[in-house]
Amino acid sequence: MVIYNFFVFNRERKCLYYKDWKRDKKSENLGFEKHNLSGLLITLKDFVKEIAPQKKLHNVFKSYSTNTYKLHFYESLTGITFVILTDLSVKSMQDALRHIYKKCYVEYVVRNPLYKVGEEIDCDLWVHKVNEFIVNLTQF
């Protein structure tokens, strides 16, 4: 199992954090990629919700797969989205992403007085903890 890369977006579609690990093909234009990905996810999320036969409001869309990678998606009620790309053998990353929200984002970003809400995250502790958590996952 392989984890390729990881994104955090806020509700305004701004990418707050990006990190890649075993990504062979580096992005030519990362800004463009982030912008398009956030747009795609918002559309996909709304559309998935719209055609769903049942009425459930939150977290309907969880992942999509192509023939080379799988994208996992988790959104908090406050609109912070966590996105992770893995290979196809990974089943679900929901618990891991929820853990990142609860134990890393809330602990080391929200509670950091130097961090301004809505800006890119460059808190050392967050960078360190997230990296440590993901690298130690069995899926890595």
Partner 1 sequence: MSKLYTKLGESAWTKVDKINSEIFTLTYGEVVNSLIQDYETSEEVNVQLDEMGYSIGIRMIDEFLAISEVEQCKSFRDTGEILAKVACKMYLGVDAVCKYWAEDDSAFTLELKKNPFVDFVELPQKYKDLWYCNIICGIIRGSLETLQISVDVKYQKCVLRGHNTNEIRVALKSINKENSSKKN
Q: What is the binding site for partner 1 (CB under 8 A)?
A: 11, 13, 39, 42-43, 46-47, 57-58, 76-80, 101-102, 105-106, 110-111, 117
Q: How far is the CB of 55 from partner 1 (least distance, A)?
A: 10
Q: What is the phi-psi region of residue 63: left when phi exceeds 0, alpha when psi lies from -120 to 50, beta otherwise?
A: beta
Cβ atoms of 89 and 1 closer than 8 Å: yes
Neighbouring CB atoms inside 10 A of 41's CB total 20
**Residue 73 or residue 105: which is nearer to partner 1 going by CB?**
105
**Residue 68 or residue 117: which is nearer to partner 1 going by CB?**
117
Q: How far is the CB of 28 from partner 1 (least distance, A)?
A: 25
Integer Cα distance of 17 and 134 in angstroms? 14
**Residue 57 or residue 138: which is nearer to partner 1 going by CB?**
57
List phi, psi (to 5°) of 31.
Answer: -60, -45
Q: How far is the CB of 64 from partner 1 (least distance, A)?
A: 16
Q: Quick one: CA dihedral 23, 25, 30, 33, positive or negative?
A: negative
Q: How far is the CB of 54 from partner 1 (least distance, A)?
A: 14
**Residue 46 or residue 122: which is nearer to partner 1 going by CB?**
46
